[in-house]
Structure 1
């Protein structure tokens, strides 16, 4: 380019009328020529180099090279060609001398100044170096994105999210690139700028407070396996109840069951409590914990007629017969009179009802039998005696789980009258109207 610049300068000066315009015109033409050559070199590189890389990637069986192409890593590398062209042609307007400007004789310096631009080389070199910085950031960002995507294809990604760490590295890269760009523009040593940032440490801590807290929290979440993408979590304080769809350095996104998105600060998952239903999902079952309240006025001892009717029920026939035999032997040993009924042991309709529920649920095909299985009485309250069902369904899908739970309680409500029991229900307007008619 020095030769081309000298050639243009010499021939433009042959036109005497525009001799004063020869120097800027030659420099302008050279700059345009350099830009065109750099663009053309980049165009050719993209058409040849990238095509070759894409063909190789499409023919290989591995997925990582396709991911590199998809994230435009090689497209960033292709920008190095025009960057080198710009860098090595930046001194076209600088004379071919081996001395410092301060060592030149004033007459020589004046004579050379008529043909060359002393400051243009420095400006072009700055632009080329800034271009290199942008390329480095672009390629590094593309490699990090590709690396994260490659990692997400492995089995480890389901247990450990690396997105937060990748974002932290990106922040560091952009920060260092900004420092380098400023040092290039100011022509200062980057280490001097970094040393000056020590005085701004307090300000930086305030600016990047959430980032620092999020980074520490993401390490704790990952190290303690507290939450990962795909987990069902519930955090009432942030109105989140759904599946984790993204974990970043600063936020965790949860898609709630109503399809809304809740955004939770990453550090909040460490500093506050939340429910993670991962254990339930890994167990293979989903808990059913619901009670039905029995009107205590309908609880009573079973008479002979009632026991005879219960013996006709296949699910509890053996229990009723065996239990009645056991109680009769016990009462016989106590030598109780027929009038002393309450001093003996007798079966109750509520006890047989509880046993019926146990047998019914043990035979239910949708109940997981190897997990906690309870049919129990809760403390009686003003609204009757609660009989709680505490079991696990073997289907975790929400819709299927609700259907299983509804079917079970449909059956329970329908079968309760067969035991001469009644579900407790608070009085309604129709109940009061009935009382008014009879009074």
Structure 2
């Protein structure tokens, strides 16, 4: 407003209503403030409407989603606020011409508002960059949030120093000098933030954890997929849909298991044992061997193995009146061979990776026969189904080898045994 326009109402009130100068000044101020507020509101709406029209026009011509994220994060809204406040603040000297004692305080208040709005604009742009980078494959699993948060902390620290400098009217240099004196206190206050930032850099450089990785950290009850890595914490969505929050620094100071290696490998490991009762293991008689030759998977093996053992015993004049003499086949050995053949012909098993059945040391519960192989399908649900199908078949197969599965006796078993003893 110029000298004439900001005094029009004042002159009009004195000339037409014969008001005193003091009353006319206050009424002039009030009306001018209302007019400025209306002007500022209209300017804000105009800027926002124009910005949206421009964005929509650009969005229709570009394939990038960057402009969409600008709208999502209210970037143009904050810019409109900033321009409006700057225009309104430029009108203050003429409006407050008769109240110069208020001008400094009002200017300081507007300077604080402008500083905060600048921070909001920077924040919205950073969030837009983060969202846009998430659409790029190379950045999908990177902890971008951590770097955004560090940058925002720096921006807020600078803005707070500027705001205090504006409010107190003291030079910015003095506040920066005082900030240096309190650096030790700041390091203590922001210790976790600094540790989190360092951890985020190490996690990224060493490629320890990515977003989407399945990690297990028993100390914190975490067992699920990482869906967010920020400055302070790593968020894990567990398989029961609970969320575990782990301080980012603990990813480099504590141990945890990352299943990414399994996910990118050729298969997911199956490592489980069947417990065989020791007293069900025996040497095979001729009749039992002939019976096992009917099992197609091991028919050739049983036949060749039987012939090899028979030739050895004949050549060495072994007395076979007792089955223990010489070399013999056992039902447990035949079953192990059957397990190997069954796994090798199973289409769900990766045959380019280790396939093995092995006998582990005897325990109080029996003799463990461990199956070690890798399923082709690594999806948890499918993996469990494949493993269940394999062990369903193997558990049911033990009957054909006269082997028994160890099982602790139930109440009904004990009652049945007691009834037999009474009879």
Same fold (TM over 0.5): yes
User: Which of 193, 202, 206 is the matching residue for 1:211?
Assistant: 193
1:276 matches 2:258: yes
1:183 matches 2:165: yes
Instruction: Specify the alignment match of 1:53 in structure 2.
Output: 55
1:33 matches 2:35: yes
Whether the aligned pair in 1 keeps the contact of 2:283 and 2:323 (CA below 8 Å) is no
For residues 320 and 62 of structure 2, what CA distance do their matches in structure 1 show?
92
Instruction: Specify the alignment match of 1:72 in structure 2.
Output: 74
Per the alignment, do residues 429 and 32 of structure 1 end up closer, same or farther by CA in structure 2, a change over 3 Å counting? closer
Whether the aligned pair in 1 keeps the contact of 2:33 and 2:95 (CA below 8 Å) is no
For residues 263 and 19 of structure 2, what CA distance do their matches in structure 1 show?
88
For residues 233 and 94 of structure 2, what CA distance do their matches in structure 1 show?
51
For residues 392 and 9 of structure 1, what CA distance do their matches in structure 2 show?
90
Whether the aligned pair in 1 keeps the contact of 2:275 and 2:405 (CA below 8 Å) is yes
Q: Secondary structure at the match of 1:391?
A: strand
Whether the aligned pair in 2 keeps the contact of 1:301 and 1:347 (CA below 8 Å) is yes
Deviates more, 1:194-203 or 1:263-272: 194-203
For residues 52 and 419 of structure 2, what CA distance do their matches in structure 1 show?
91
Instruction: Specify the alignment match of 1:123 in structure 2.
Output: 105
Cα offset, 1:28, TM superposition: 2.9
Per the alignment, do residues 127 and 283 of structure 1 end up closer, same or farther by CA in structure 2, a change over 3 Å counting? same
For residues 241 and 48 of structure 1, what CA distance do their matches in structure 2 show?
49
Runs of 5+ consecutive residues of structure 2 not aligned to the other structure = none
For residues 381 and 23 of structure 2, what CA distance do their matches in structure 1 show?
82
Q: Secondary structure at the match of 1:119?
A: helix
Cα offset, 1:123, TM superposition: 2.8
Runs of 5+ consecutive residues of structure 1 not aligned to the other structure = 96-115
Cα offset, 1:269, TM superposition: 1.6
Q: Secondary structure at the match of 1:160?
A: coil
Q: Secondary structure at the match of 2:207?
A: coil
1:305 matches 2:287: yes
Per the alignment, do residues 433 and 123 of structure 1 end up closer, same or farther by CA in structure 2, a change over 3 Å counting? closer
Q: Deviations over 1:158-210 (max 9, x none)?
A: 33221111111111112211111111111222221122123333332332222
Deviates more, 1:329-338 or 1:31-40: 329-338
Q: Secondary structure at the match of 1:300?
A: coil
User: Which of 244, 247, 250 is the matching residue for 2:229?
Assistant: 247
For residues 233 and 252 of structure 2, what CA distance do their matches in structure 1 show?
12
Cα offset, 1:400, TM superposition: 1.9
Q: Secondary structure at the match of 1:226?
A: coil
Q: Deviations over 1:29-85 (max 9, x none)?
A: 333322322222112112223222223223322222222222222222223432332
Q: What is the CA RMSD across the aligned residues, in angstroms?
A: 2.1
Q: Secondary structure at the match of 2:20?
A: helix
Instruction: Specify the alignment match of 2:138 in structure 1.
Output: 156
Instruction: Specify the alignment match of 2:175 in structure 1.
Output: 193
What is the TM-score with the length of structure 2 in the denominator? 0.93
Cα offset, 1:121, TM superposition: 2.8
1:437 matches 2:414: no
Per the alignment, do residues 433 and 34 of structure 1 end up closer, same or farther by CA in structure 2, a change over 3 Å counting? closer
Instruction: Specify the alignment match of 2:65 in structure 1.
Output: 63
Per the alignment, do residues 348 and 117 of structure 1 end up closer, same or farther by CA in structure 2, a change over 3 Å counting? same
Deviates more, 1:380-389 or 1:2-11: 2-11
Cα offset, 1:342, TM superposition: 4.2
User: Which of 14, 18, 21 is the matching residue for 1:19?
Assistant: 21
Q: Deviations over 1:201-252 (max 9, x none)?
A: 3332332222122111111111111111111111111111111111111111
For residues 333 and 252 of structure 1, what CA distance do their matches in structure 2 show?
70
Deviates more, 1:127-136 or 1:278-287: 127-136
Instruction: Specify the alignment match of 1:112 in structure 2.
Output: none
Whether the aligned pair in 2 keeps the contact of 1:8 and 1:26 (CA below 8 Å) is yes
